[in-house]
Structure 1
Amino acid sequence: MDETTFVRSLEDQLCFEVYKASNGFSRMYGRALKSFGITFPQYLVLLALWDEDHIFIKNISDRLGMSIGTLNPILNRLTAQGWIQKVASDSDKRAVVVTLTEKSQQSKKAISKAILNEIIQCDLTDIGNEAFKRGLKSLNNEFKSLEERNDVKN
């Protein structure tokens, strides 16, 4: 790759296509989640908790790649809406454990169905394509490695 990569028009830039796809996913999930009163970032938090409930905020932050400063307002809204509970850790009073409520546990299937319906309407049934996901995971791993190398330098 050389500097001619950046001479391309906007529509020919990989970064622009990724940006548009990210916005498209956010809007699609937003439509699916609207009736539940949650946003796409809030849904991502719920996904992390559905994978592993009763975890520290730091673990959620690490899993989602969100800073604590970004994550805390999301958690506060989810708490106010009755989706999660936050309690001080028994082992470390400075740490907070996040737990799913009955509402979030009972809503998981309905939320998943609403998202599936949106995916079908958008004709994205191949979204689970493993090669596509592997490529995106590889790209994200490269970005993470680059960040870690830059953190070490600074």
Structure 2
Amino acid sequence: MPKKPSPDELLKLDNQLCFAVYSASLAMTKLYKPQLDKLGLTYPQYLVMLALWEENGLMVSTLGERLSLDSGTLTPLLKRLEAAGLVSRVRDVADERRVHIMLTPAGRRLKPRAARVPACLLAASQCSIDELVALTRQLQALRERVKAA
């Protein structure tokens, strides 16, 4: 039977899952930066583009939910992508309060170049694709349990 950790052990920085996730996220963002610079994208812009390449025409509210971004963060990000010519904002004909985000031809043309970005993580992590898929699924499950708590 495993021994219960002491309060001091529980509070060690290196024993914190939150810190491991946070610092891994920072390291991945740093790893991706040179690749994203070549595409003219920031990391949050890259996430928006990934979501739109998967499903073009998402409503702003759906995109915010999908990326866990509030409108105060998402709106300026979308404006910058629109200014760069990668997306356009289109009001819903049936309900003008709804805004759809559409890829422009330039936004669609960026996808093949962006397909090279994940390879840098595969190389740097020295993990197999199966290991990365399993880790991604574990983190997604953890995220959903924490959100539900």
Q: Give the structure-2-normalised TM-score.
A: 0.86
Query: Residues 1-154 of structure 1: matches in 2 within 5 Å?
Result: 4=7, 7-113=10-116, 115-126=117-128, 129=131, 130-146=133-149
The change in CA–CA distance for 1:47 and 1:34 in structure 2 (over 3 A counts) is same
Secondary structure of 1:92's partner? coil
Q: Partners in 1 of 2:47 and 2:144 — Cα distance?
A: 19
Q: 1:110 to 1:3 in 2, by over 3 A?
A: same
Quick one: structure 1 residues 93 and 3, their matched pair in 2 at CA, closer, same or farther if it must change by over 3 Å?
farther
CA distance in 1, matches of 2:64, 2:6: 35
Task: Specify the alignment match of 1:151 in structure 2.
Answer: none
Q: Give the Cα separation in 2 of the matches to 1:5 and 1:92.
A: 56
Q: CA deviation at 1:116?
A: 3.7
Structure 2 unaligned regions, length at least 5: none
**1:128/1:46 CA distance change after superposition, 3 Å:** farther
Distance 1:3 1:89 in 2: 57
**Partners of 1:99 and 1:119 in 2: CA distance:** 28
Moved more, 126-135 or 95-104: 126-135
Following superposition, the deviation at residue 8 of structure 1 comes to 3.6
TM-score of the aligned structures, taking structure 1 as reference length: 0.84
Q: Taking every aligned residue pair, what percent have the same amino acid on both sides?
A: 32
4+ residue stretches of structure 1 with deviation over 3 A?
5-8
Residues 39-80 of structure 1 deviation map (CA, whole Å, 9 limit, x = unaligned): 111011011111111121011011111111111111011001
Gap change, CA 1:15 and 1:88, over 3 Å in 2? same
Secondary structure class of the residue paired with 1:122: helix
Which deviations, in whole Å up to 9, do the C-alpha atoms of 1:11-55 show, x marking residues without a partner? 222211111101111112222100111111101101111111112
Amino acid at match of 1:106: R
Query: Which of 37-46 and 123-132 deviates more?
Result: 123-132
Q: SS of the residue aligned with 2:128?
A: helix
